[in-house]
């Protein structure tokens, strides 16, 4: 999750500098950070016990060049895949969550809205809309059985959730059908019940039943072993609100009016031929995107059905724009972002932070900087408060120039049952997971 401050240090680091009137020496700070990292890694020990039993790259193998790249374990015969669900603790039962059902969708929405990812200071919590969840969980060829819930037997209350959706992902020149696993959420009061490992095993079992043996997922925590680690960057669109709710801080020697002026954007896009994507653009956008994504080590293998589902604009879910040459009518450039608000916790004046997240962007004729500036203008027009981007693909080239600030949040990408020779640089990754 994108964390809440645009300062470069973590809140604890900043506090360490304030402990006494004298500035702490750099060596004290680095020792303190080191000590804390050791503490964190010890706390992670129990979490890793589970992952050490799984076919994922292990920390002990980092740097071992004798290990081949590719699947860690071969597929099992389908007859050997466990046919029955894993056992849950006595009070709980599995349920398959039908996202077509309004009632079920609302239950999932309520569970996530109240219990899903929060920032470290518990000021913001992701608030995926029902429309977003339906979009995220029902791509072409999806399996209902991969939308898994856990209910309390007596009250039938939904208390945990995990999902997978199928995706074709290219790793170098291999195209692999994988599950993208997401939305692992356990009710706050049940975090000690060790439900998460059982849920991960259960979604894995159901994925295996479809003869799929690899998966991709992301986490804000370090597990064995990241394929790459990305940094979140944030671009203020409504700086006053962001400062009022504690998402960002007024810079040193900055006034509010100077800050507002600093982040001001033009009223409308400046690129000629810049317009919203329409259904008839799907084939051209697919060609553009496929060619572009080819340059990355890990990227989705999108066809027209995928592009239609993931990138055709959907109100309050995903926005896509392209540049059509006024002379030749050729589609030369493309940009997109999805809508993921966060609930603002404990603020009297504001309840929602409206955030746009950079999705897939392709520049061939329009400079990427200009294209993304137009994307910022469109997000501002739609009343977004902040525009977030990871430093994946070519994003690094525009972040500083367009006044994005680094967040506290890191996002680690993982591959299940697939080993990469070495971790990728974020710019080698062409995949955005929701």
Catalytic residues: 434
Name the one residue in this structure whose structure tokens are 């971790």.
423
- Strand-pair partners of 331: 324
Q: Between the CA of residue 139 and those of 4, 37, 136, 169, 306, what are the distances in Å?
A: 30, 39, 7, 14, 7
Q: Between the CA of residue 88 and those of 56, 183, 197, 403, what are the distances in Å?
A: 24, 19, 11, 48
| DSSP letter for each residue of 99-135 | TTSHHHHHHHHHHHHHHS-B-TTSSEEE---HHHHHH
Query: Collapsing DSSP states into helix, strand and coil, what is residue 152?
Result: strand
Burial class (CB in 10 A: 0-12, 13-18, 19+), 217: buried
- Both tokens of 81, joined, read 């895949």
| 241 touches 183 (CB < 8 A) | no
| 212 touches 427 (CB < 8 A) | no
Phi/psi region, residue 15 (left: phi>0; alpha: psi -120 to 50; beta: rest), is: alpha
Give the phi and the psi of residue 406 in degrees, each rounded to 5.
-70, 135
Query: Collapsing DSSP states into helix, strand and coil, what is residue 181?
Result: strand
Rounded to a whole number, what is the distance in angstroms from the first to the last CA of the chain? 10
Query: Cα(424)–Cα(402) distance, rounded to whole angstroms?
Result: 25
Query: Cα(392)–Cα(230) distance, rounded to whole angstroms?
Result: 7
| 232 touches 396 (CB < 8 A) | no
Query: Cα(146)–Cα(177) distance, rounded to whole angstroms?
Result: 15
Among candidates 76, 172, 221, 49, which has minimal Cα distance to 420?
172
Among candidates 177, 151, 149, which has minimal Cα distance to 163?
149
Distance of CA 359 to the CA centre of its chain: 10
């Amino acid at each position: 999750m994108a964390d809440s401050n645009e300062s470069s240090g973590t809140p604890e680091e900043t506090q360490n500098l304030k402990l006494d009137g004298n500035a702490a020496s750099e060596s004290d700070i680095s020792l303190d950070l080191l000590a804390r990292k050791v503490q964190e890694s010890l706390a992670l020990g129990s979490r890793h016990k589970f992952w050490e039993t799984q076919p994922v790259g292990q920390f002990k193998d980092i740097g071992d060049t004798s290990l081949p790249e590719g699947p860690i374990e071969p597929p099992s015969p389908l007859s050997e895949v466990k046919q029955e669900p894993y056992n849950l603790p006595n009070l709980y039962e599995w349920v398959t969550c039908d996202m077509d059902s309004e009632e079920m969708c609302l239950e999932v929405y309520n569970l996530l809205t109240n219990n899903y990812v929060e920032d470290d200071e518990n000021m913001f919590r992701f608030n995926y809309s029902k429309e977003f969840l339906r979009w995220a969980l029902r791509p072409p060829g999806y399996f209902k059985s991969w939308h898994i819930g856990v209910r309390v037997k007596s009250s039938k209350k939904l208390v945990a959730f995990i999902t997978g959706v199928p995706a074709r992902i290219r790793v170098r020149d291999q195209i692999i059908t994988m599950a993208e696993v997401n939305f692992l959420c356990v009710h706050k009061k049940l975090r000690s019940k060790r439900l998460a490992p059982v849920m991960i095993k259960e979604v894995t079992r159901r994925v295996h039943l479809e003869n799929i043996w690899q998966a991709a997922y992301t986490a804000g925590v370090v597990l064995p072993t990241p394929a790459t680690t990305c940094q979140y960057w944030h671009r203020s669109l409504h700086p006053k609100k962001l400062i009022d709710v504690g998402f960002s801080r007024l810079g040193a020697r900055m006034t509010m009016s100077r800050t507002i002026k600093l982040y001001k954007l033009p009223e409308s896009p400046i690129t000629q031929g810049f317009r919203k994507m329409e259904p008839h653009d799907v084939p051209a956008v697919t060609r553009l995107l496929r060619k572009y994504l080819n340059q990355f080590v890990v990227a989705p293998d999108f066809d027209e059905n995928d592009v239609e589902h993931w990138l055709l604009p959907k109100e309050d879910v995903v926005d896509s724009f392209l540049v059509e040459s006024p002379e030749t009518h050729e589609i030369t450039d493309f940009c997109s972002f999805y809508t993921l608000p966060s609930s603002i916790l404990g603020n009297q004046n504001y309840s929602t932070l409206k955030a746009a997240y950079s999705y897939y962007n392709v520049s061939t004729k329009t400079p990427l900087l200009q294209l993304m500036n137009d994307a910022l203008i469109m997000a501002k027009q739609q009343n977004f408060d902040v525009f977030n981007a990871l430093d994946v693909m070519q994003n690094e080239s525009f972040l500083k120039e367009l006044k994005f600030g680094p967040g506290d949040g890191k996002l680690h990408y993982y591959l299940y049952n697939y080993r990469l020779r070495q971790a990728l640089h974020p710019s080698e990754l062409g995949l955005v997971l929701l």
